[in-house]
Amino acid sequence: MTWPVAVGDMLDGKYRVERVIGAGGMGVVVAATHIELGRLVAMKFLLSEGAGSPEIAARFIREARAAARIPSEHVARVIDVARLPSGSPYIVMEYLEGHDLDATLRHGRLNGDEAADYLIQACDAMAAAHRLGIVHRDLKPANLFLAHQLDGTSLIKVLDFGISKSAFDPALAGITNAGALVGSPLYMSPEQMRSAKDVDHRTDIWSLGAVLFELLAGRPPFQNDTITGLIADITLGEPADLRELRPDLPPGLVAVVVRCLEKKPERRFADVAELAAALAPFAPQRAQRSVERAHRIVGSVPPAPYSSSSIPPARGSSAPPVTTVSTAPSLSVAPTSLPPPPRQTAPGEPPAVGVTAGVGHGTAPGWTGTRPGAASSSARTFALVVAAALGAAGAAWFALRGSSPPAKLEKEGSVALEARAVAPAPPASAITVAPTVAAALAPVAPAVVASADPGAASAEANALKAKPKRANVASSALSATPENKKNGLSMQLK
């Protein structure tokens, strides 16, 4: 095998080759130092066997163009593209510390949360690629690189867009032959097996499902000793039962894998954003950021948290997957009775305070009640005003008549006045008024008038009539006092 470069070579006057990172059947990757910037970069070259093929060289350039167009932190960043003196192209990319998932699988299968986290990050990258019309067509563990970050975390980087299909690059259209078997057969979808040229983004969903299967089970979903047998198994057969290989996995996670590996593309997840949302319940909380970003990229709204009880459509059925959601039934209590409609207020009567009458768990629309005690309080106030008016009228009557009240009342007036001044006010509910006052108050507050007894009314009237006399006597005494005259005070009632 002839290497295109050697350690210590200086390329383009600024890249010095440091060491070989890895080599494959068609190319080699080396670490180099950017002399001007003083940082490491990765450089990818075609081997001499591939450099002489125009088709392979065109795919190599396509990889650089595709990766450079995808603005995602989960895609290895392309820095530069140049050519060797021989004309063979090479790509300069960011240098990544870490290893791919193929190397991870050599140490055993992964836990469900770890595998779901890696796949969601890959979905984040592929959402950006699919938005640009780029289909990878070669997603596999070796092309998912686990890069170590400075903070100690790891980040999935999607590599090798060399055989990607672009719907928006006319210069690269038609490179793939209709009958060519393009991709890695262990992770290829049935439709890609039949024609790699006539596939869309859903072939990548199949490949991601096959990768997830292997991360969880430690083996691919389809295995065969021959390529023809493998093709027959993928196009016609069923994948291995993940439940038997990993009985400890949540059924919902197994259902996600099964749906990715549906034979018909329309029965898989509609896009990688939907796949990421389905994996979210089984991944760490930090993966939610990638889920939301994938939905923003593809232009869809993130759904409610995906239920782990989601069931994929049964094989042979075109029904969509069913997600069971249990919600508490809403309770509504019908009112057994409604309050009476509000009465009409009389002219001059203080208006009642309207409040909403609550019935059960709701309200009775259109009905209002009165604040407790509002009517009785208004009626008491009105009764006192009427009583005071009657007292004033009686006093005026005695003054105009010029006669004195009965001797007994005059004699006992001062005593009654003192007793009334110290006696406690009667309860509001026991106010007694004259029959005429009772008749006047009956339309307003019938519940307030406790009694209209004639005897009680007479006693109340006599008490009211006594007030003017007492006032007259008191005023005479004041007028006869020299100090009061001196001060100019006069309270004679005319």
Return the active site residues: 138
- Decide if 145 contacts 118 (C-beta within 8 A): no
How far apart (Å, rounded) are the C-alpha atoms in residues 107 and 443? 96
DSSP secondary structure, 140-205, as one string:
-GGGEEEEEPTTS-EEEEE---TT-EESS-GGGTT-S-TT---S-GGG--HHHHH-TTS--THHHH
- Decide if 144 contacts 211 (C-beta within 8 A): yes
Question: What one-character DSSP code corresponds to residue 266?
Answer: G
Three-state DSSP class for residue 105: helix
How far apart (Å, rounded) are the C-alpha atoms in residues 282 and 279? 6
Q: CB 92: neighbour CB atoms within 10 A? A: 22
Q: HSE of 364 in the Cβ direction (CA atoms, 13 Å)?
A: 16
Residue at 74: amino acid letter: H
For 252-273, give one letter per residue: b (16+ CB within 10 A) or e: bbbbbbbbbbbbebebbbebbb
Q: CB 420: neighbour CB atoms within 10 A? A: 12
Angle at 491 between CA 486 and CA 494, to 5 degrees: 135
For 356-383, give one letter per residue: b (16+ CB within 10 A) or e: eeebeeeebeebebbeeebbeebbbebb
58: which 2 tokens?
């065109």
Three-state DSSP class for residue 2: coil
Q: CB 277: neighbour CB atoms within 10 A? A: 24
- How far is C-alpha 86 from the chain's CA centre? 58
Sign of the four-CA dihedral 138, 142, 143, 146: positive
Q: Which residue has the tokens 């196009």?
A: 235
